[in-house]
Chains A and B, each alone.
Chain A
Amino acid sequence: AQKVTQAQTEISVVEKEDVTLDCVYETRDTTYYLFWYKQPPSGELVFLIRRNSFDEQNEISGRYSWNFQKSTSSFNFTITASQVVDSAVYFCALSEVSTSGTYKYIFGTGTRLKVLA
C-alpha cells in the first residue's frame, strides 16, 4: 500500500536559516504524483508543488526548492533564508489510483516548522 513518511515531527529554526523537510514515500505504481502542501496557522491547505514520477528535475521557486530522487523514494523540500511567515505545518502527499481510475492522495503526518525571529 501507498505510504508517506515525514519523520520530522517538528523543526525550529532561526530566521534566515535554511531548512530541509524530508519526505519518503512507498508505492508500487510506476506512474504517480507527489505534492507538498502548506497549512499555516489559519488552517487552510495551500498547494505548493506537484511532481510526476517521470520528472526528476529539481525545481526552484523563489526561496523554495524541491529535490525528487526516485532511487531513494524521496521528495524533500528546502526553504532557503527562512522567514517567520514560513511557520506552518507542511504536508507531503502521494497519489494512489483508486479502482475507478481516479486519484486520491495519501498524506504524510506533516512537519511543523517554527521560524523564530
Chain B
Amino acid sequence: DSGVTQTPKHLITATGQRVTLRCSPRSGDLSVYWYQQSLDQGLQFLIQYYNGEERAKGNILERFSAQQFPDLHSELNLSSLELGDSALYFCASSPYGGEGGYTFGSGTRLTVV
C-alpha cells in the first residue's frame, strides 16, 4: 500500500456522462498530481495542486477539471465523456514541489462505452 488512495478502482460509464475520480494523498503530502495513461498517449501529466491551489497544468482537456479540498484530498471531474477518454487515471502525491518524486496511487480504470 503506497499510502495514496484512489477510488473507485474501476468505472464503466456511457458516452456523454460525467464522472468524478477521488484521490487521498499520502499523509503529510501537500501536492497532488493527476496523470492519464492511455494506450496511444502513454502517461500524460494533467494537473497539479499544492495545498489547495492549482500549480501546474498539462494536457488537460477543457471537459476535465480538478480541485483540491482543505483536507487535501483531490477530485478529478470528467464530463461529456468520449470513447477516447477510456484510460487509467493515476493520482500521485508528494510532500512539496515534487523534486523528490511522487508516490502513485493504484489508479482508476475508466471505461467509456
- List the interface of chain A (C-beta within 8 A of B): 33, 35, 37, 42-45, 47, 50, 91, 95, 98-110
Q: How far is the CA of A37 from the CA of B96 in the complex (A)?
A: 20
- CB-CB under 8 A from B86, the residues of chain A are none
On whether the beta carbons of A98 and B55 are closer than 8 Å, the reply is yes
- List the interface of chain B (C-beta within 8 A of A): 2, 31, 33, 42-43, 45, 48, 50, 55-56, 58, 88, 90, 92, 96-107, 109
Number of interchain pairs (Cβ within 8 Å): 63
- CB-CB under 8 A from A33, the residues of chain B are 99, 101
Q: How far is the CA of A37 from the CA of B105 in the complex (A)?
A: 13
A55 to chain B, nearest CB (A): 13
- CB-CB under 8 A from B58, the residues of chain A are 104
B49 to chain A, nearest CB (A): 10
